[in-house]
Structure 1
């Protein structure tokens, strides 16, 4: 305990707490046994509350190193929530102004969090979703190149690199190299791409599964239905062994079970990835599955899911 307290006292910036999140084994689901295990990578433990802290820090550091981000520039990008909050938190910690383009219908929790960090919000059409925000952000970056540094999370190699360098190695060591399946939701696809690349290099037999909503009109915030969306430049479907098409209602049911059976208050996509893991268990005799849960449920309190 004394050592851990000393380490905490030596932290110089909040950004140093990004990463090294816990891996937690699930115990409450009837599908589990000593041969069929599911672990969740608890990314809501990041200081900004989500896995997007990793990618945001990586892209900002890359911008600084390449001199595309200088002290007189404003960080600007599109985001439906978690990445926006990560940019805002890191920008505040490092002394950069931040502006975010986000659909006008994002929930009140996210709006207030961004405002608390001092970020400026630029609203795009709620009817065009994340694609509309992407288009608007690109226009701003093109029209005001001297003002903005746009990380462009959907096309920036530093996004998946963050997970290749941190998330993947953490999971590999935390499972003592025993992981058999890796499951991640697909939004920008950075987590799925970077982590799966690292794990496949360690063991080609690890099955990698990307989770997408099963319909273009869905309720799984943070996940992207690739067939009906602007395809991220960093996305490569051939890096994954399988795509799991998640049903919104079933994902919500698993999300609620995670709260009541495991005490884990997680977000929408957390339910979706664990749903995929539970169904995968039905097809195998033995497995050590790791699911990435990107964020906590408190980001969705006003969305009508929690009663």
Structure 2
């Protein structure tokens, strides 16, 4: 196939059967979001936010794109900005994985580091101050920008039901909230016989009005409920420990040849728990691939 630019390859990711979870009259499929061009599901939201901002004339070709992020979204914003011709500044705490910083810089973005003691909130404040200094600048705001959920409403959800109309459960972790909210909105709008199972780290009970807890599952389980997820009711919440997430990621790599990241492992572990209680075909959102975590606990076999 021929594409005009790299952003045309965002989305339309395949569903791959997970053999060790399938059987007894039902199938489990992983939606391979790590096959997006920068390597994660976040490409969908980044591309949608920028396109909508252009169409709504919130940005011009001279606007500087800014985002505070220490995760996959930082890489996605840098990639999409490069593809669309925008200057980009990514603000990160200084203790971010050097590999993540290198990924961002590879796309030509400027990386602004903030004191690690200030955490991501310090990076957010710096991003806001940069916007004031620059003037013609735009902060992506993945935790509050509705365009992020629209990407999954119009893309991820539609793709799933086109490929697997029989799906009864979709399992996905909650990070920014965009994926699970977009999926839920689609199911409700189309009145489909399907449910969304939200994956959260063990001890993080923000979806039930509780407190957050420390964990090591990168990409899910934020400290506070994202604005775009406020007021949204999900069908089921399944909690997964750090060890369960790593174990499931290793298992699917060793037994199926599918090398995914830790949050994908969490989703697979949650799906295995879900299967003990619910019936029907299942789709598990696998946000990224394991190559991003070579120097993490995922690949520490000692």
Find the counterpart in structure 1 of residue 208 from structure 2: none
Following superposition, the deviation at residue 28 of structure 1 comes to 2.7
Find the counterpart in structure 2 of residue 3 from structure 1: none
Find the counterpart in structure 2 of residue 53 from structure 1: 43
Matched positions, count? 291
The change in CA–CA distance for 1:257 and 1:196 in structure 2 (over 3 A counts) is same
Following superposition, the deviation at residue 237 of structure 1 comes to 5.2
Match of 1:205 among 169, 174, 193: 193
Find the counterpart in structure 1 of residue 56 from structure 2: 66
Following superposition, the deviation at residue 70 of structure 1 comes to 1.2
Q: TM-score, normalization: structure 2?
A: 0.91
- 2:40 counterpart SS class: coil
Once the two structures are superposed, the pairs formed by residues 75-224 of structure 1 within 5 Å of their partners are 75-141=65-131, 143-144=132-133, 146-175=135-164, 177-215=165-203, 216-224=213-221
Q: 2 CA distance for matches of 1:156 and 1:124?
A: 23
Q: 2 CA distance for matches of 1:99 and 1:251?
A: 32
Q: 2 CA distance for matches of 1:128 and 1:39?
A: 40
Q: 2 CA distance for matches of 1:266 and 1:252?
A: 10
Following superposition, the deviation at residue 26 of structure 1 comes to 0.5
Contact map agreement 1:78 1:102 (CA 8 A) in 2: yes
- 1:93 counterpart SS class: helix
Q: How large is the RMSD of aligned CA atoms in angstroms?
A: 1.7
- 1:243 counterpart SS class: strand
Match of 1:239 among 226, 233, 246: 233
Q: 1 CA distance for matches of 2:281 and 2:116?
A: 40
- 2:176 counterpart SS class: coil
The 4+ residue runs of structure 1 with deviation greater than 4 A are: none
Match of 2:268 among 270, 274, 281: 274
Contact map agreement 2:95 2:116 (CA 8 A) in 1: yes
Contact map agreement 1:107 1:302 (CA 8 A) in 2: no
- 1:270 counterpart SS class: helix
Contact map agreement 1:193 1:239 (CA 8 A) in 2: no
Q: 1:29-59 CA distances to partner (integer Å, 9 max, x unpaired)? A: 4xx3142321111001111111111000000
Contact map agreement 1:55 1:160 (CA 8 A) in 2: yes
Tell me, yes or no, if structure 1 residue 299 matches structure 2 residue 287: no
- 1:15 counterpart SS class: helix
Find the counterpart in structure 2 of residue 21 from structure 1: 13
Comparing 101-110 with 270-279, which one deviates more in the overlay? Answer: 101-110
Find the counterpart in structure 1 of residue 209 from structure 2: none
Following superposition, the deviation at residue 197 of structure 1 comes to 1.4
Contiguous gaps of at least 5 residues in structure 2: 204-212
Following superposition, the deviation at residue 220 of structure 1 comes to 0.6
Contact map agreement 1:273 1:293 (CA 8 A) in 2: yes
Contact map agreement 1:160 1:191 (CA 8 A) in 2: yes
Contact map agreement 1:80 1:222 (CA 8 A) in 2: no
Once the two structures are superposed, the pairs formed by residues 257-268 of structure 1 within 5 Å of their partners are 257-268=251-262
Contact map agreement 1:200 1:206 (CA 8 A) in 2: no
Following superposition, the deviation at residue 104 of structure 1 comes to 1.9
